Structure 1
Amino acid sequence: MSYVNMVRMFVRVYELGSMSAAARDQRTSPAVASGRISELEKHLGVRLFNRTTRKLQPTENGRIFYEGALGILQAIQDAESAVADATQNPRGVLFVGAPLGVGRRFVGPFVPAFKAAYPQIDLRLRLSDRIIDVTAEGLDAVLHLGRLEDSALKMRVIAECPRVLCAAPAYIERRGNPADGATLIRERHDCLNLRYPGAKEFQWALQTPQGVQKYDISGPYESDDGDMLTDWALSGHGIVLKPLFEVGAYLRSGALVPVAQATPPLSVSLSLLTPHRRLRDPKVRLFADFIVGRIRSDMAAQVQGLVLPDPTQGSGDDRTASDTTSDPE
């Protein structure tokens, strides 16, 4: 059995805290994962994990070995990257994560072109609107939509994305068009919210002339799939808060209409996140350079000409969405 495979399996078991999860991550069976850990423990002459029927905890020796194991794998990756740079022939598997809407609109359509340009790189795309743990899920790069808290990840800002509150004309005819965030709450409007385990946005942060205020919205519908919220809004079931690029076509056609325009939502950043130790991998650099410019171009086209209210400038001043999508670097 390859020592490198044993070390790689150990690292994934350590990070995921589960033999079965590590086995899935490495595309093998729990029995094989357990066998590799046992062989590694036999080779080292120490126990790396304490196993019970319910939990898997690293021992002190396991914690010590983990730091060294990361160095082993990093050294191998650096050597492979150096060879790829020297031969200008990058190869291997690239794991990329993204929110559903971003992935479907701005990443997925370019995967075939990336594969055609770099035929020896296989790209695995993981889409989810929940919070993604880059390290735990073994990802090389992640498209992140939102405000990033303190992080050890390298961040490359792609664009500032304006957001809008909107609803279908049928909903507005039935419930009225709320003027602002206070009206949303006072009249108990049906707000469609993105909820998933670990979600933090249980309030809507809206811009007012007095500054940003948070509103405790409520409603009968919620989902962990942002596109489902858009579908419900289009069917007249409530008000949705969405990035403008996701609903621009519906706003142009009149299928959705802006609401609460006196207190628009904050914009969010779309960024490319990469672990620092992956930056030397030519596959990651190639993907970043390939995708960033294409996303900026596509996103600008999606929102071109759409007018946004600006509460800080008074009721008479507006700005176009393209004003917020200029190159931030």
Structure 2
Amino acid sequence: MAKPTSPPEETDDNDPTLEALAAKLGKPEPGLLEALLDGTTEARLVERGRQIASSRVLTDMRRLYATAHACWSGASNDKREKLRGFSPELLALAVEQALALERLLDAHESAGQKKDASRATRDAALRERLSRALLLRDQAYEVLRGVAGSSKEAREELSQAVGTAEDPAALARGLAQLAALGKRYLAQKKGPLAVRARLMRLDQDYVERLDEAAEELTQVAKTAAARPAGQKVTSGDLDRTDGINLILLEQIVRVFERANEQDPTIPRLVPIATRRLFSRKIRKKTAETAGGAAAGGGTAGGGTPPDEEDPLEGDDTPV
């Protein structure tokens, strides 16, 4: 175990923070986590962690690990014997993994906030570009309508070119088609149509402006619709780390539960934020203990032997 560093500032209620506990306990030896997780699949870790929010897991670990450390630090040799299954090394590993979860959650939430802000910025840019493009399209329609003249064929052609504004792609397409129609009109250097083009001030610069607006709108729409680059912290990362932390928390809670049965002065570590995962097992244990005592059978504590039915154990109900 590495030599502890100077402890960070503790909380106002004198319960050490995870950072303070880590400083007191030191860094766990390499390979401990791998040994603990041996035989556990990645899918199982993710599935276990998916059952509860990371913030709830952290809430209980901050409180319970501080209690476990305080109890062990002041425990007599006799009490430490009753806490077989628990060790400072196990707690150091649990605290290290709790801190890892804390960092992952902070990074995940920060990335989510940045993503939301970026999305809002892109959406605002798209709305502004759409508004400008729509105004330009309507103006171009009026200009080209004056140039086209009154023939039915010319009006129908113009109506087909302008299209709709049902989405950015349709509006951009309409602008590009109006630009193409304007280029055709400008290609006629003589006759009534050329005269009308001069009267309406249709020129090459205006046609190019329509093309540029269409291209810009297309690009802004693509940017707004694009998914952000892959985040460094995914929900799967959090679920896996939650699963690891729940395994460690379960082990420590279970050891203190057994020790409390032998010596009530050893505190039980009662989860609150994660009680949804614990409550069913704890209620079951209470009922079994009461039933065993009433019947006068079972083990010395009146409950069911741990190897038969451990109320804080269970492959199908992760803690």
TM-score of the alignment, normalized to the shorter chain, above 0.5: no
Structure with the greater relative contact order (CA < 8 A, sep ≥ 6): 1 or 2?
Answer: 2
Normalised TM-score (structure 1): 0.19
Structure showing greater radius of gyration is 2
TM normalised by structure 2 equals 0.19
Larger strand share, 1 or 2:
1
User: Of Structure 1 and Structure 2, which has the larger fraction of its residues in helix?
Assistant: 2
